[in-house]
Structure 1
């Protein structure tokens, strides 16, 4: 895959159940208040370490607040060598309404 794909929450949930990685690019406080279960809070500070340790062959879902910023991050991660990258439409705001069973809320 040379580019990312935008997907809805049901498709993202199915990928997660099949073992996809999830990177949440929101700020640490927002992430601490609630996030997709099993997601990793990705920031500029830990980006290099994340890329070094990640499984580039495993699907990667990128989540932000509303699904806009995650598209830029997803494209960047494709350019870093991830094979299969997705941006979640609607971001965490839509996710928590549509997939409440797959959320960790503080």
Structure 2
């Protein structure tokens, strides 16, 4: 399909409020942004931070991106791997890792 837009993908990161928001006493638990699609735009990906968390929004044209569900699944898997790597280890795990690294570099 020929594009009527200058791009096939838009990705945006929107910083949101870092404190809880309320509407008539109910706390807003999450925000999920969306990128509106115009003709020919295959996918829009939006990220928005809110109160220490991050919400993702994926919007796609199935005629341009028929397997968007697979793409989103791969993004989720990759983000989970990154999150696990970025999560601080307990001091015992850190010491074990450092010891293993030190001993292997000396051998």
TM-score range (shorter-chain normalised) is under 0.3
Name whichever structure is richer in helix by fraction.
Answer: 1
Q: Give me the TM-score of the superposition, normalised by structure 1.
A: 0.26
- TM-score (structure 2 length as normaliser): 0.26
Q: Which has the larger radius of gyration?
A: 2
